[in-house]
Amino acid sequence: MSSLAAVIRTEEFNAPGPGDFNLPGILDSAVTKPMVLVVLSGVIAFVLFYAMSRKAAVVPGRLQFAGEYVYGFVRNAIARDTIGGHDYARFVPFLFAIFLFVLINNFYGVVPFIQFPTMSHIGYTTALALITWVVYNGVGIRKHGFGGYLKHQTVPSGISGPILIALVPLEFFSNIIVRPFTLALRLFATMFAGHLLVILFSLGGSYLILHYEPRLVGVTSGTISFLLAIGVSFLDMLVMFLQAYVFTLLSAMYIGGAVADEH
């Protein structure tokens, strides 16, 4: 057997890449799978929490307890601890909706026959980040006024003198311009990378088992690759939850900073 037969024939293996995230339209239409999943996530969230609250009682059942636990987590561990006891309550519905929406769309990546986290498309994370940007800037302007809010976000408390010539543009760039980009990119990058790894190990395992010579090495390596895909999927589940938490936490931090009395 020639030495060429003992290596992977790379010309026959199509490595996964960004193109695998550009899914074709359903039934040759302009509607794609991620579009359907985003709409479905809203329906799932509504139906799920309607079922949890429909028979609300002083002594909660399992569904009601689960709903109250998630809501309480967002309310107490994120909103109240980050924004503060005086202002947090009016932002809880927004933060809860953001958390639940991101969480459902992330976990699509491990649901059989769906297996596509919609937040691996940067368009959706950008839209969510822009909504957060509008909310926290809007509430800040409402509280401080336009000029007062700009000063609040660009002039650090207790700082004066010529150093402000350098600090004000930096603070403006950091607090007003950069935040939505970093918020969107953080969520997108982790979901994209995790799903890409699962695709890589799955397709690589299939290729090794079916096409690699010698067969024993191919089957062994392919099996290991599939096991790695399963391991990455479990790790990705943790990352999916953490990214929903981080996105919501940062949104709360930005809102808290906007409504605070001092920068």
Domain boundaries, the chain: 3-259
pLDDT at 202 over 60: yes
For residue 84, name the pLDDT band (cuts at 50, 70, 90).
Answer: confident
Question: pTM of the predicted model, to two decimals?
Answer: 0.87
Per-residue confidence (pLDDT) for residue 29, from 0 to 100: 79
Whether residue 228 contacts residue 203, with contact meaning beta carbons closer than 8 Å, is answered with no
Per-residue confidence (pLDDT) for residue 263, from 0 to 100: 58
Per-residue confidence (pLDDT) for residue 48, from 0 to 100: 84
Per-residue confidence (pLDDT) for residue 164, from 0 to 100: 79
Whether residue 116 contacts residue 23, with contact meaning beta carbons closer than 8 Å, is answered with yes
Residue 203 in tokens:
């397709």
Residue 173 in tokens:
């760039």
Q: What is the residue whose two structure tokens read 């980040």?
A: 129
Whether residue 242 contacts residue 222, with contact meaning beta carbons closer than 8 Å, is answered with no
Per-residue confidence (pLDDT) for residue 1, from 0 to 100: 38
Residue 234 in tokens:
């479990």
